[in-house]
Amino acid sequence: MKLPIIRQFYQNQTPENLEKTLEVLESFSEFRGTSEEDLNVVGELITNICGALEVHANVQNGMSEKDALNSFAQKVLGSIDK
């Protein structure tokens, strides 16, 4: 998870574009010939896209961009600590 990338995805892409990209990456990750290195890269991209989608949703619900980004980061860090 990289907040600068999530911020850029949020600022430059619509939720619809992010959803379409997410579908393609998920499909790619299911291909049995995908290498471990490719899966690591795709996993990182999926995390960042999901973060941008969550930021879009939180901002639409009235949260500031900064707070939405920090909220997502705390959620991810909180799940790692468990």
Sorted by where each begins, the domain ranges of the chain are 3-79
Q: Give the global pTM.
A: 0.88
Q: What is the pLDDT of residues 35-69, one digit of tens each?
A: 999 999 999 999 999 999 999 999 999 999 999 99
Tokens of 77: 């860090």
Nearest in space to 4 (alpha carbons), one of 66, 57, 46? 66
Q: Please, which pLDDT band fits residue 81 given cuts at 50, 70 and 90?
A: low
- The confidence score (pLDDT) of residue 68 equals 96
Q: Please, which pLDDT band fits residue 19 given cuts at 50, 70 and 90?
A: very high
Separation CA 64–CA 80 (nearest Å): 25
